Amino acid sequence: MRTALPCIALSLAVTTLVGAQATYPATSWPSATPAAVGINPAVLDSLDREIREGRYGNVDRLLVIRHGKLAWDRSYAHDYDSIYGDSARRKNPLNPHDLGSPYNYFAPWWHPYYRRGTLHTLQSVTKTITSVIVGVAVARGDFPSIDTPILTWFDTTKVANIDDRKRRLTVRHLLSMTAGIDWNENLPYIDPNNSAVQMEGSYDWVSYAINRPMAEEPGVRFNYNSGATELVAHIFRTATGVDIEEYAAQHLFQPLGIREWYWKRTPAGVVDTEGGLYLSAPDLARVWYLFLQQGKWQGKTIVSPEWVRESIRPAVQVGSAAGGPRYGLAWWLYRSPRDTTDFLWGGSGFGGQFPVAFPKSGLLVVINGWNILPGGNRLPLGATLDRLIGSLRD
């Protein structure tokens, strides 16, 4: 479940990958002052002040890395027991389960931090990392072509609503949100008619998603579908013989130095690849930094440069507006506000999870938040990215 659509005007473009950087984080990111990496600290100070004044609701963390060095890291404490306490005790689509459930989005034991610690829910940024894991498996020869029809990995005698369109549905369509499945996730997540809400209220999420009828030919149109990414968890396990979390632990997290995470599972025990991963902001930045390095980490290829290029290639337009965002293989693609040749690579998660890479300037930004009810103040992503770009001195 869960994405937060960015408020930023975008256009179709392909950007240039930056070259390999010399600096990689070990246990932690090496640090530098903003000025030392060419960032005007006054811009960060002003943004920090506005967040502390409460202008943007519940922002939990702002982290800025440039050229492999941590230049800014601020956390903002919020009393979520009080902020969402009443909502946690009232049944609604964001709270259909017991107060102690990991799918009670108001329960402070689970949200936004795992057990009130430092691991922050990523929500739909999990989709992007799921795509990265598929890319790792492709690079290692453990996963077949993503153009393989997905029914290859299902018992078709137990799948409902099979037609020729569902037979043509591939992994690529799932990752690019062009599955063509009958799915309505355009409603607020507090609306019981939202398809993702209905899926999360069921026991077997994979069955719920695969049994939905087709609405159109796959590959034709973007239609945001959390169930599509949940299908990837089943497909990955069937195709590789390994649980996707276990695979990530060995072949992505371990090489990148990520030692702590939490990954929720569905009631049936399947990894929640559509929104269940928790990471710290510095560790989330490692995944984005891997892509800035064209898939290499300290000289070792984790994902291929071809997979990186395919992931950030604008496969489909989001919405009908000419200046709307594009989507790659589970990557949100943002046009830089100040350089029309620069394409920014992002993730987007419910509540305000925004990791963004600025490939031409070697900049990484991670924003965590927890604004989950309709209305209220939000951090304006487009304006914030514009300010950060304007802060660069080289």
Q: Are 180 and 169 in contact (CB under 8 A)?
A: yes
Of 198, 173, 170, 171, nearest to 184 by C-alpha is 198
Q: Is the backbone of residue 38 left (phi > 0), alpha (psi -120 to 50) or beta?
A: left
pLDDT tens, residue order, the chain (394 aa):
555 544 443 333 334 444 444 589 999 999 999 999 999 999 999 999 999 999 999 999 999 999 999 999 999 999 999 999 888 888 888 988 788 889 999 999 999 999 999 999 999 999 999 999 999 999 999 999 999 999 999 999 999 999 999 999 999 999 999 999 999 999 999 999 999 999 999 999 999 999 999 999 999 999 999 999 999 999 999 999 999 999 999 999 999 999 999 999 999 999 999 999 999 999 999 999 999 999 999 999 999 999 999 999 999 988 877 667 899 999 999 888 877 667 899 999 999 999 999 999 999 999 999 999 988 899 999 899 999 999 999 7
Quickly tell me which residue has 């927890």 as its tokens: 370
Q: Are 128 and 331 in contact (CB under 8 A)?
A: yes
Integer CA distances (angstroms), 358 to 280, 284, 339, in order: 20, 15, 11
Q: Are 392 and 36 in contact (CB under 8 A)?
A: no
- According to the model, what pLDDT value does residue 320 have? 78
- According to the model, what pLDDT value does residue 21 have? 44
Of 393, 365, 350, nearest to 112 by C-alpha is 350
- According to the model, what pLDDT value does residue 342 have? 72
In this prediction the pTM is: 0.94
Distance from C-alpha of 298 to C-alpha of 302, rounded to nearest angstrom: 10
